[in-house]
Amino acid sequence: MPNEMMQWHWWGWMWFGPIFMLLFWVVLIAGVIIVVKWVLGQGGKREESALDILKKRYARGEISKEEFEEKKKDII
């Protein structure tokens, strides 16, 4: 009986050990990728410049070409 228990214990580690080790590395690598993407995403956000806002307003038709050119001169 003790020999059978030791044999199961050995087979259990032989099969489940590598599976858990693989799972550990997958979770670790996925976590690192998520953190890196989050950090890079935070740094990529910037406020819109006044010229960007002006261009969007002109594209939506909120202001005329004359207004756009006049305000653009003021900004630049």
Q: Are 41 and 53 within one domain? A: no
**pLDDT tens-digit readout, 35-57:** 998 888 776 566 788 999 999 99
Q: Are 40 and 56 within one domain? A: no
Degrees to nearest 5, angle at CA 68 with 57 and 55: 40
pLDDT at 63: 93
Q: Are 52 and 41 within one domain? A: no
**How many domains in the chain?**
2
Counting other chains too, the contacts that 61-67 makes at CB distance below 8 Å and 24 or more residues apart are none
Judged against a pLDDT cut of 60, whether residue 4 lies above it is answered with no
Q: Which domain holds residue 63?
A: 46-76
Q: Are 27 and 52 within one domain? A: no
Decide: 67 and 54 in contact? Cβ < 8 Å.
Answer: no
Q: Are 2 and 36 within one domain? A: yes
Q: Are 15 and 39 within one domain? A: yes
Q: Are 34 and 4 within one domain? A: yes
Judged against a pLDDT cut of 90, whether residue 19 lies above it is answered with no
